[in-house]
Amino acid sequence: MPATVLEARALLLDMDGTLVNSDAVVERCWRRWALAKGLDPEAVLTVVHGRQGYATMAVLLPDRPMEQNHAENRIMLAEETADTEGVVPIGGAAAFMAAIAALPHALVTSADEALAQARMAAAGLPVPVTRVTAELVGASKPDPEGFLKGAAQLGFEPADCVVFEDSEAGIAAGRAAGMRVVGIGPRAAALSPDAHIADLNGLRVESAPDGRIRLHLAAH
């Protein structure tokens, strides 16, 4: 794939799998849940990434009352917030966050506020001032609500925003919001994002005098 340059006025960042590698925690918590429900943990792990927990449960147990999914999701969030063992930054994340510190950007995550704070801290990354966490949306990714709210909070049109995502649900949400998507990591490689990089080391950020952000994505 040749080198790519994308231009934007604002950046919308997923957290898990994009800025923070939390796969170890996610897999521990969801394996426990799957075994307790008599489900195949490997099959469950193909569904969990990118969605809020209650939405994952609704996919896996479609006949179950949604109130039960929300109740179990609250327990799951507490478990995930307390467990930060193995949470590390994605390659290049610290330099990327430093490069965009003064540029318009927002965190748009399926985590709630407490989990987002815990994981960003565990990875040693700054938490963006503008963020859309689980408490602020009525619908989980792949619904575009979170990304649309992030763009609105920053004051930009969807077409002026570039989304950074790793999961199928997240990439679908970015597309549905009318935004271009940079896929991060192995999960995103097969999902045909507008551009793809293995991690954030493959990215250089340039700020133009007119406010445009140029994203130089390495060829691979």
> Helix, strand, or coil here: 217?
strand
Please check whether residue 60 is in contact with residue 47, taking contact to mean a CB–CB distance below 8 angstroms: yes
83 given a catalytic annotation: no
Q: How far apart are CA 208 and CA 16, in angstroms?
A: 29
Please check whether residue 88 is in contact with residue 21, taking contact to mean a CB–CB distance below 8 angstroms: yes
Catalytic residue of the set 16, 160, 166, 199: 16
Residue 186 CB neighbour total at 10 angstroms: 12
16 given a catalytic annotation: yes
> Helix, strand, or coil here: 11?
strand
Reading the block at residue 3, the tokens are 């080198």
Is the sign of the CA dihedral 202, 128, 191, 216 positive or negative? negative
Please check whether residue 181 is in contact with residue 194, taking contact to mean a CB–CB distance below 8 angstroms: yes
- Residues with catalytic function: 14, 16
